[in-house]
């Protein structure tokens, strides 16, 4: 008896074989043909420490692989760049410091270190998959970006890509950048559907 043949359309199936341990949302072999599974891969990235730390639930960024409150009482500020006397650029330069400096040194990026501004905070921390999905598509909350703008941000923005090269002592995003972009495009290409709200069942 011959084994059945499965054909996936559009994008290759999502796989985490490159990592020591599979990412929590990308294990399903049908992820490429299932937009909800593709979004779960996106969610796993957005809710990793590298992204959550600059998309906190509040006006204080978090830091570290455990996402603890940023030291020095750093605040979002009126434009997402910190407050007078404690701007993000005070410590965060244009590149990561050399590995020889050791752990816990302020990282940097070629463009500008910042949080989203207060008028569209784009909170990732603590959001359900559905809440995150709806917020991501809401142009009133995401800075006016359409799907093409969001794709550019996640694929090409140096600040986003920093999460895969975060410097000495930090864990990179647990899904490869290529896989992340592929999953995002698969989800977007299917109409960007959002997961259903999970309903608690008694018993």
CB 2 within 8 A of CB 157: no
Residue 201: pLDDT above 50? no
pLDDT at 197: 78
pLDDT digits (tens, 9 = 90+) for 105-116: 999 999 999 999
Q: Please give the tally of structural domains in the chain.
A: 1
Query: Is 53 a member of any domain?
Result: yes
- Check the CA dihedral 86-64-167-142 and report its sign: negative
Residue 153 lies in domain: 37-189
Query: Is 199 a member of any domain?
Result: no
pLDDT digits (tens, 9 = 90+) for 46-76: 999 999 999 999 999 999 999 999 999 999 9
Q: What is the Cα–Cα distance from 192 to 203, expressed in whole angstroms?
A: 33
Q: What is the Cα–Cα distance from 24 to 80, expressed in whole angstroms?
A: 30
Query: Is 77 a member of any domain?
Result: yes
Query: Is 161 a member of any domain?
Result: yes
Q: What is the Cα–Cα distance from 119 to 149, expressed in whole angstroms?
A: 18
CB 49 within 8 A of CB 67: yes
| Mean pLDDT score across all residues of the chain | 86
Q: What is the Cα–Cα distance from 79 to 45, expressed in whole angstroms?
A: 25
Question: Cα 37 to chain center, whole Å?
Answer: 16
Q: What average pLDDT does the segment 16-38 reach?
A: 56
Name the percent of the chain in helix, strand, coil, to the closest 5.
Answer: 35, 5, 60
pLDDT digits (tens, 9 = 90+) for 143-187: 999 999 999 999 999 999 999 999 999 999 999 999 999 999 999
Angle 200-68-46 (CA atoms, 0-180°, nearest 5)? 55
State if pTM tops 0.85.
Answer: no
Query: Is 181 a member of any domain?
Result: yes
Six-digit token pair at 185?
């495009």
Q: What is the Cα–Cα distance from 34 to 69, expressed in whole angstroms?
A: 36
Query: Is 14 a member of any domain?
Result: no
Q: How many CA atoms lie within 13 A of 91 on its CB side?
A: 14
Query: Is 50 a member of any domain?
Result: yes
Query: Is 118 a member of any domain?
Result: yes
pLDDT at 33: 77
Our CA dihedral for 174, 133, 126, 111, rounded to 10 degrees, sits at: 60
């Amino acid at each position: 008896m011959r084994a059945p043949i499965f054909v996936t359309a559009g994008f290759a199936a999502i796989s985490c074989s490159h990592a020591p341990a599979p990412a929590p949302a990308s294990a399903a072999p049908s992820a490429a043909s299932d937009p909800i599974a593709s979004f779960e891969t996106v969610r796993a990235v957005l809710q990793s420490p590298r992204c959550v730390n600059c998309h906190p639930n509040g006006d204080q960024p978090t830091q570290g692989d455990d996402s603890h409150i940023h030291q020095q009482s750093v605040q979002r500020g009126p434009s997402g760049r910190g407050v007078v006397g404690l701007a993000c650029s005070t410590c965060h330069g244009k590149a990561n410091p050399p590995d020889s400096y050791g752990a816990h040194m302020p990282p940097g990026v070629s463009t500008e270190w910042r949080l989203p501004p207060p008028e569209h905070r784009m909170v990732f921390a603590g959001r359900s998959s559905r809440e995150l999905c709806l917020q991501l598509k809401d142009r009133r909350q995401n800075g006016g970006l359409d799907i093409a703008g969001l794709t550019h941000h996640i694929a090409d923005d140096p600040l986003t890509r920093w999460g895969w090269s975060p410097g000495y002592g930090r864990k990179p995003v647990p899904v490869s950048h290529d896989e992340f972009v592929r999953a995002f495009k698969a989800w977007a290409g299917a109409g960007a559907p959002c997961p259903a709200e999970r309903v608690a069942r008694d018993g």
